[in-house]
Amino acid sequence: QLQLQESGSGLVKPSQTLSLTCAVSGGSISSGGYSWSWIRQPPGKGLEWIGYIYHSGSTYYNPSLKSRVTISVDRSKNQFSLKLSSVTAADTAVYYCARAHVGDHAFDIWGQGTMVTVSS
Amino acid sequence: EIVLTQSPDFQSVTPKEKVTITCRASQSIGSSLHWYQQKPDQSPKLLIKYASQSFSGVPSRFSGSGSGTDFTLTINSLEAEDAATYYCHQSSSLPLTFGPGTKVDIK
């Protein structure tokens, strides 16, 4: 059973860069056929898709965040990562990683989520 | 960007009652509409994909219908464990987007 686990800094200062990693276990990120996404949810609010990466390394970012987002994959460690630069309080959220089949892009597996607070 | 709207925002329901949640897309998305359930302090779980295909392990009381711009999630005979927020999500075009959610509370 494939599982996803987010990790990273829970507290980031304004203007700095948020960095998170999603470890994939029970399966290989290099197997193909899937996209690997980051999704966030501000406290008490809805879900916002940030972007995804394929095992090949190709990416697509939400235009609303594109100028600040980088998603990368490390096949040797079976993980993918998110970097969000120039953060503000508006970036405070629970950040989820999730997998979707490339055929339908329905998110069938999610990580448990990690809370990131932007504060000085 | 495709905008999804959901109604109602909130619904308080008694057990065994039928629940209907609608999701409307700002333009036609075919059947590329998926439904998720999120309980407090948990990550979302996929219920229905492609408008009407039940995901593995999802109880049969959950069903979906619709195509184009109008979609429905139905919960037949609501159980207490179904208290949650339900989100629709479209994958017809990038960026992927979600509806604002419908919170279902148990009376």
User: Which of A9-18, A52-61, A110-119, B90-99 shows the lowest per-residue confidence on average (mean pLDDT)?
Assistant: A52-61
Average pLDDT over residues A93-105: 94
Q: Give the pLDDT band of residue B14 (cuts 50, 70, 90).
A: very high
CB A2 within 8 A of CB A26: yes
pLDDT of A103 over the 90 cut: no
Asked if A22 and A80 count as a contact pair (C-beta separation under 8 A), the reply is: yes
- Chain A positions in Cβ-Cβ contact with residue B43 (cut-off 8 Å): 96, 110-113
pLDDT digits (tens, 9 = 90+) for B18-70: 999 999 999 999 999 999 999 999 999 999 999 999 999 999 999 999 999 99
To the nearest whole Å, the CA of B88 is away from the closest chain A CA by 10
Tell me the nearest-neighbour CA distance from B76 into chain A, angstroms. 23
How many inter-chain contacts (A to B, CB under 8 Å) are there?
A: 56
Average pLDDT of every residue of chain B: 97
Buried b (16+ CB within 10 A) or exposed e, A29-64: beeeebbbbbbbbeeeeebbbbbbbbbeeebbbbee
Chain B nearest C-alpha distance from A46 (Å): 6
Does the distance separating the beta carbons of A112 and B95 come in below 8 Å?
no
CB atoms A105 and B96 under 8 Å: yes
Rounded CA-CA distance A83/A116 in Å is 12
How far, CA to CA in Å, does B13 sit from each of B6, B47, B84, B106? 17, 19, 12, 5
